[in-house]
Amino acid sequence: MTYEQPAVLSRLEGLELRARRIVEGWLVGRQASPYLGAATEFASHRAYVTGDEPRRLDWKVYARTKRLVVKQFHEETHLPCWIVVDASRSMRYGDAAGWSKFDHAATLAVCFAYLLTGQQDPAGLIVATGGGLRVAAPRAQSSQVEQIARLLQACEPAGDGQFAAAIRAAAPHWSRRGLVILIGDFLDQEDSLPSALGELRGRRQETLVCQVLHGDELEFPFEGLSLFRGLETPAEVESDPRALRRAYLENLDAFLATIRKACTAAGADHFLVDMRASLAAALTRYLGFRHERL
């Protein structure tokens, strides 16, 4: 399936337009755009004074010294953000209406690009396909959102899952400090993801891992004798799902725990994107979490 098919374009109403509606709806009632692309670096402490925001208090210092101090930061604005999207075969999985994990990931990518360029931060795109990398260099102009949407619409998910390898192959693009947003399902990447995230950390990239999973993958709701085909391999299994459900869900929990552990070890944020929830809700949850940490 490609984004250029008329039926898909009709459903999307244009990838860029869909993303803009999601983001603008999310921003309704907010006083300012979320702090996303700019980076901060700790500078020093100073004594707390009335009127300081409580979230700036350093509670670790208070626990040691019983003194209220606030953290001060150097701000580095307009740092480049690279959005990296997995376009391997497993991202083709979707619902009966034709909405796939790749569709969801692509829309999320354009949402982030819209947010970033809206606050004058350069956003770039790397799509990891079976045939290599497709790249749009970071730019802050509003037209960049259209370019990113167009590149994603031209991509067809295919090939084996080599997302972590693609991240390492893109290392030359991480030439200066910035933000990297990884969007994919990370299937079969448990062993290779830690080194890829370590490479990003070594290059001083703040990293967000958005793991997109379909409701079927999270619930295993199947009933009756079924034929299961591997998303990244040609393996097939015919079985009664009821005999597999408990073991599958246990393996899923272990898989997600491994991905979260790899993210924590590399200082990256892990954000599970459940396709059963709206992208507006997903953005609210993540950006609210990020705002509370700053």
State the pLDDT confidence band at 136, using cuts at 50, 70 and 90: very high
Tens-place pLDDT, residues 181-198: 999 999 988 888 999 999
In the three-class reduction of DSSP (H, G, I as helix; E, B as strand; rest coil), residue 123 is classed as: strand
pLDDT value at position 8?
36
In whole angstroms, what is the distance from residue 236 CA to residue 247 CA? 17
* Position 157 in a domain: yes
Mean pLDDT of 69-74: 72
Q: How many domains are there within the chain?
A: 2
Tens-place pLDDT, residues 51-68: 677 877 888 888 889 899
Q: Is the pLDDT reported for residue 291 higher than 80?
A: no
Range of the domain at 267: 6-31+78-293
Domain harbouring 259, CATH code: 3.40.50.410
* Position 1 in a domain: no
What integer best gives the mean pLDDT of the chain?
80
pLDDT value at position 18?
57
Q: Is the pLDDT reported for residue 92 higher than 70?
A: yes
Of 109, 258, 123, the residue nearest 186 (C-alpha): 258
pLDDT value at position 292?
61
Q: Which segments of the chain does DSSP mark as H helices, in order?
A: 6-12, 15-27, 59-65, 101-118, 143-153, 163-169, 193-202, 215-219, 241-265, 279-293
What is this structure's pTM? Answer: 0.76
Of 139, 179, 186, 132, the residue nearest 155 (C-alpha): 132
Residues 56, 175, single domain; the answer is no
pLDDT value at position 270?
94
Residues 254, 159, single domain; the answer is yes
Determine if residue 130 is left, alpha or beta; phi over 0 gives left, psi from -120 to 50 gives alpha, anything else beta: alpha
Tens-place pLDDT, residues 241-254: 888 899 999 999 99
pLDDT value at position 43?
65
Residues 53, 127, single domain; the answer is no
Residues 71, 187, single domain; the answer is no
pLDDT value at position 93?
93
